Structure 1
Amino acid sequence: MSLDADRDVGPVAASQLIFAGALIARNASGDLVKGLTATGLAGAGVAVKRCDNSGGSAGDLTVEYSRQTARLANSGAADAIAAAEIDDVCYIVDDQTVAKTDGTGTRSPAGLIAAVDASGVWVRIDETLAALAVA
């Protein structure tokens, strides 16, 4: 069967267990990691399938991912995202959560906020957009 949409596949960093549906990011080496609070990353997409490279080296495995608008969990307290932040950059907390701020320089961009509702934050995840938005 031929493809009917773009498919993105990238190398997974060493010691990573990425779950299907997880927010993933690209590190400075070009490898994909599960979302986490760290600098030097850019939100890349959402993992389509689970990838267990927990015992492997960087690049031993690849993961298929999708650049998309995805619902992620909203951070809490002062870092919670509100409707007023639509079209602003949001930042990676973990593989399912985003925040309004970069946590005083401790978080990397996830993408652009598309919507906010009771279910969470809808984020346009695309590493090119994320990098441009904070440049």
Structure 2
Amino acid sequence: MVALTRDRGTLERIAARNFSIPAAASKVFYAGAILALDTATGYGTPGATATTLRGLGRVRRAVTSPATPGTVNVEYERGLFRYSNSSAADLITRADIGTTAYMVDDQTVAKTNGSNTRSAAGIIRDVDDLGVWIEF
């Protein structure tokens, strides 16, 4: 490339918050759900108990992907979002603020990695009566 000789319409991602990723095959992504990257395939997938996922953020709009991976994209947002708390030994408390939360499913996070069966969702930033605030 050469240096500019006129104005350029440079695209911006506002506060580096809005993204999209090609979707894994045959998945249903609900708006508001936890979106994860399947590190084995490079495609977006709903949050789940698995060891090959990495939490990305919150799904912006519902999408159902066809049988061919990468055919549609899933829009998602980075930020701080409230999700459901796990229970029993995996219940997240205020003492866990600042530590990693782990995905149980596309709307629930837990305190532990479930004996190495769960992937990280994000960082616990707050806990209240309605759930856990996770930063992606």
Q: Do both share a fold (TM > 0.5)?
A: yes
Aligned-residue sequence identity (percent) comes to 42
CA RMSD, 1 decimal? 1.3
Segments of 4+ moved more than 3 angstroms: none
Across the two proteins, how many residue pairs are aligned to each other? 123
Q: TM-score, normalised by structure 1?
A: 0.87
Runs of 5+ unmatched residues, structure 1: 126-135
Q: Does 1:51 align with 2:51?
A: no
Q: What aligned pairs does 1:64-83 form with structure 2 within 5 A after superposition?
A: 64-83=75-94
1:16 alignment partner, one of 18, 21, 27 = 27
Matched, 1:26 2:37: yes
Q: Quote the residue 2:96 is aligned against.
A: 85
| Structure 2 SS opposite 1:84 | helix
Q: CA 1:116–1:19 in 2, change beyond 3 Å: closer, same or farther?
A: same
| Cα distance, 1:40 vs structure 2 | 1.0
> What is the Cα deviation at residue 56 of structure 1?
2.4
Report how far residue 4 of structure 1 moved: 7.3
Shift in Å, 1:60: 0.6
Q: Which residue of 1 aligns with 2:49?
A: 37
1:9-43 deviations in Å (ceiling 9; x for gaps)? 10000111000000010012211000100011100
Counterparts of 1:65 and 1:47, CA distance in 2 = 4
CA distance, structure 1, for counterparts of residue 117 and residue 85 of structure 2: 17
Residue type at the aligned position of 1:51:
V
Equivalents in 2 of 1:8, 1:115: separation in Å? 24
Report the residue type matching 1:58 in the other structure. P
**Higher Rg:** 2
Given the superposition, is the C-alpha separation of residues 78 and 26 from structure 1 closer, same or farther in structure 2, using an over 3 Å criterion?
same
Give 1:99 shift: 0.1
